[in-house]
Structure 1
Amino acid sequence: MDFFIFFTIFSSVFLLTKAHEPNNTSYGRVYPGIRYPFRIQDEQPHHSGHPGFELFFRQNKTYIHFPTYGDLIVKTISYDTRKLNLIDPKNCVPDVFLNLNLSLTPFSYYYVLKEYTYINCSSHLSTSFVQVPCLSGLNHHVYIVETSISPPISCNFVKTVAIPFSYSPYLSDNSFGLSFTWNLTGECDDAGIGCQSETLLHNKGLFGVANDKVIGLIAFIFLAVTLFYAKMALHKVFDLVKEKEKLGEIKVGKVLGEYEALNPATVSKSDIKVLIH
């Protein structure tokens, strides 16, 4: 009995642990750096991530897609600070700032924003203005200026946007300023474990995948314990019956011997049983 109880408890702890393991594997592949709210698109189940946090692989790089711009490379993800650092594969961060509409995504810029105006000029401006090379060409020259500056007559207004930084040739790389954060209500920190609202919303609620395993495990343990105690009860009943039958046989044999010694011709075994009972 002690062994059975130990085995049941050990199995319960093991299976419960397996049921609540973070779901970061799929088809035998392991993604140690990817966890909730992110997931690998088409390779991990929908409930393992939040909508808008789908990642995918291409040419040994991890990408995330933004509807108004396109695909950006994932550089790093910091879950503690909720910071997503990206790289523009086109090597033109000012173009990302110009066209990216984060209102259609669950993300926002990580840094404080300031409004700047993009202008497109037909000729070079004075050296006080810095041209954006990746947006400019032979016959057009793009600049990012303060909103308080009136564009010269040779320039056309393009767009005013709230962005983290203006263009600077000293800070022009393919990732400067491309840092984003997210804020989900009731968000889980580790693949949905210990989270209530997000788990209920994205992990199929109370009857999610992990909960199905737990419910099945509880049912299995209950059935095993019930069968065990039913078996023990039957053994006790059989033992009592055997003990009673054995005791009855002893009494019958003893009385029969005594009566046969006195009058063996007139006393039968069935008569003695009647007298005893």
Structure 2
Amino acid sequence: MDFFIFFTIFSYVFLVTKAHEPNNLSSIIGGPVFPGIRYPFRIQDEQPSNYGRPGFELFFRRNKTFIHFPTYGDLIVKSISHDTRKLNLIDPKNCVPEVFLNLNLSLTPFNYYYVLKEYTYINCSSQLSTSFLQVPCLSGLNHHVYVVESSFSPPVSCDLVKTVAIPFSYSPYLSDNTFGLSLTWNLTGECDDAGIRCQSETLPNKEFFDFADIVLGFVAFIFLVVTLFYAKIAIYKAFDFVKEKEKFGEIKVGKELGEYEKLPTIVYD
């Protein structure tokens, strides 16, 4: 009987635990088809929209993974680190200074991963002194583009293009198609580090429902324990009653047998 009660309580706890496990496929790391893609990212046109968040859509092209930015275009996804929330990108045009110039992250859920500093892009009709390094991928025969400190006063032969907050200025030693193209994201209430979807900002009453689930589960558990306790008492009483009946029947039968044995023997002549 004790084993039956233990098994019933264990089964209840197991079922409650399983019921509270996340059943949304977006909480599974990558799912069965895309093991490298994890919430809040999703594969566009391959996974349902509830697998990820807006702005985190990825797509495949020519055996590469891309992400689209409205103000610039498509960038190649080199790697994603969910532990550090770091998205490493590659510019397919091989011109990171152009990405810095045109990428407006305010329209996206991302920010630059590194510390920012304001720099100014200037376009000059003639080359500056050799102490200034022009950006080759943005310059031509009749125009020369430079990235300078925002406090720099350009000569009259130069026009100011734009002042932007970016991680790094141009350097020929750091001018590959990946340097500085690292982004990060911050979603309030998300648990994507563990691969679990918990969108508290889209479910304002989530804490209330979680608390209600806990209370209801506890009440149900107490009710089950009390029910099993009284059921156990009732069953024990039933067993005791049956044993008493059996015992009473044995004594009665014994008495009858004893009286029968004590009857005088009748001898017929």
* TM-score higher than 0.5: yes
Name the SS of the counterpart of 1:29 in structure 2: coil
Aligned to 2:87: 84
Q: CA deviation at 1:199?
A: 2.6
Task: Write out aligned runs for 1:110-189 (5 A).
Answer: 110-188=113-191, 189=193
1:199 aligns with 2:199: yes
Which of 47, 58, 62 is the matching residue for 1:59? 62
- Give the CA RMSD over aligned residues: 4.7
Q: Distance in 2 between matches of 1:8 and 1:41?
A: 44
Deviations 1:156-178 (A, max 9, x none): 11111111110000111111011
Whether the 8 Å CA contact 1:72–1:88 is kept in 2: the answer is yes
- Report the AA paired with residue 174 of structure 1: N
Which of 10, 22, 28 is the matching residue for 1:20? 22
Whether the 8 Å CA contact 1:64–1:71 is kept in 2: the answer is yes
> TM-score w.r.t. structure 1 length?
0.66
Give the paired residue count. Answer: 254
Q: Distance in 1 between matches of 2:134 and 2:47?
A: 44
Q: Distance in 2 between matches of 1:113 and 1:172?
A: 17
- Report the AA paired with residue 56 of structure 2: F
Structure 2 vs 1, CA of residues 62 and 15 (structure 1 numbering), >3 Å: closer, same or farther? farther
Stretches of 4+ aligned residues off by more than 4 angstroms: 1-19, 200-206
Q: Distance in 1 between matches of 2:128 and 2:165?
A: 23
- Report the AA paired with residue 45 of structure 1: P
Which of 99, 105, 108 is the matching residue for 2:108? 105
Aligned to 1:39: 42
- Report the AA paired with residue 192 of structure 1: I
Which of 84, 94, 97 is the matching residue for 2:97? 94
- Any unmatched runs of 5+ in structure 2? 208-269
Deviations 1:167-215 (A, max 9, x none): 000111111011111122112122335xxxx434558969xxxxxxxxx
> TM-score w.r.t. structure 2 length?
0.68
Q: CA deviation at 1:155?
A: 1.4
Q: CA deviation at 1:92?
A: 0.5
- Report the AA paired with residue 34 of structure 1: I
Structure 2 vs 1, CA of residues 41 and 4 (structure 1 numbering), >3 Å: closer, same or farther? farther
Whether the 8 Å CA contact 1:115–1:146 is kept in 2: the answer is yes
Name the SS of the counterpart of 2:194 in structure 1: coil
Structure 2 vs 1, CA of residues 135 and 8 (structure 1 numbering), >3 Å: closer, same or farther? farther
- Identity of paired residues, percent? 69
Q: CA deviation at 1:19?
A: 5.0
- Report the AA paired with residue 199 of structure 1: Q
Structure 2 vs 1, CA of residues 45 and 2 (structure 1 numbering), >3 Å: closer, same or farther? farther
- Report the AA paired with residue 33 of structure 2: R
Whether the 8 Å CA contact 1:48–1:202 is kept in 2: the answer is no
Q: Distance in 1 between matches of 2:202 and 2:142?
A: 51
Structure 2 vs 1, CA of residues 139 and 171 (structure 1 numbering), >3 Å: closer, same or farther? same
Q: Distance in 2 between matches of 1:81 and 1:25?
A: 18
Structure 2 vs 1, CA of residues 3 and 73 (structure 1 numbering), >3 Å: closer, same or farther? farther
